[in-house]
């Protein structure tokens, strides 16, 4: 690799006088760069920098932001928005079955805390069944105060 890269023939370098030491340095540098890059903090040795091709400066094109904004507006103007009709929701809210049961319990003389506790014992399906049979509301009240 050293011969192929022309390291031995560098003018004014230690490659001609101390080739073994220079090979050792390059090998160490490659090893550290490969396996422990944090040791070198991403820095390159002088030899590594000389081996790298020179960076080419590319002419930067000036960007006209006004032109880009106009192009985007033209594109946006061509697209017509789709009109979607939305039915307004009714302002009336349907009370939950638990709230209806609590109201029935309050009408029958149960206080608010007890009504809330009784209603929380049942699922919505069970409460709907109870509300369809008014006599079962009395049974629930009796069971609550007995137990």
What is the domain count for the chain?
2
Q: Is residue 118 part of a domain?
A: yes
Locus of tokens 């002088």 = 46
At 73, the pLDDT band (50, 70, 90 cuts) reads: low
CA atoms of 29 and 87, how far apart (whole Å): 72
Residue 8: predicted pLDDT:
66
Residue 17: inside a domain, yes or no?
A: yes
Structure tokens belonging to residue 83: 């009109």
Is the pLDDT at 66 greater than 80, yes or no? Answer: yes
**Tokens at 67, concatenated:** 């032109």
- Which of 14, 33, 51 is where one domain is finished? 51
73 to 46, 82, 108: CA distances (angstroms)? 52, 18, 67
Which pLDDT score, from 0 to 100, does residue 64 have? 83
Domain assignment present for 67: no
CB neighbour class for 125 (10 Å; exposed up to 12, middle 13-18, buried from 19): exposed
In a domain, 32, yes or no: yes
Q: What is the mean pLDDT of residues 115-121?
A: 91
| 14 HSE (CA, 13 A, CB side) | 10
* CB neighbour list of residue 115: distance below 8 Å, 6 or more residues apart: 101, 102, 105, 106
Q: Is the pLDDT of residue 49 over 90?
A: no
Domain around 118: 97-146
With cut-offs at 50, 70 and 90, classify the pLDDT of residue 114: very high
Q: Which residue has the tokens 């509301």?
A: 137
pLDDT, tens digit, for every residue of 75-111? 556 667 788 888 877 777 788 899 999 999 999 899 9
User: What is the reported pTM?
Assistant: 0.38
What percentage of the chain exceeds 70 in pLDDT? 88
Q: How far is the C-alpha of 78 from the C-alpha of 71, rounded, in Å? A: 11
Q: Is residue 45 part of a domain?
A: yes
- The more confident residue out of 121 and 72 is 121
What's the whole-number mean pLDDT along residues 116-125?
91
């Amino acid at each position: 690799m050293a011969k192929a890269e022309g390291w031995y023939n560098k003018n004014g370098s230690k490659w001609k006088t101390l080739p073994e030491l220079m090979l050792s340095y390059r090998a160490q540098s490659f090893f550290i760069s490969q396996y422990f890059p944090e040791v070198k903090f991403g820095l390159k040795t002088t030899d590594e920098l000389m081996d790298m091709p020179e960076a080419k400066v590319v002419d930067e094109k000036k960007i006209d932001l006004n032109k880009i904004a106009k192009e985007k507006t033209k594109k946006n103007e061509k697209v017509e928005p789709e009109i979607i009709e939305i039915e307004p929701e009714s302002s009336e809210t349907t009370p939950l079955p638990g709230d209806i049961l609590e109201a029935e319990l309050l009408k029958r003389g149960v206080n608010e805390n007890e009504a809330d506790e009784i209603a929380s014992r049942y699922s919505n399906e069970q409460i709907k069944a109870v509300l369809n049979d008014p006599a079962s509301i009395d049974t629930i009240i009796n069971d609550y105060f007995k137990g």
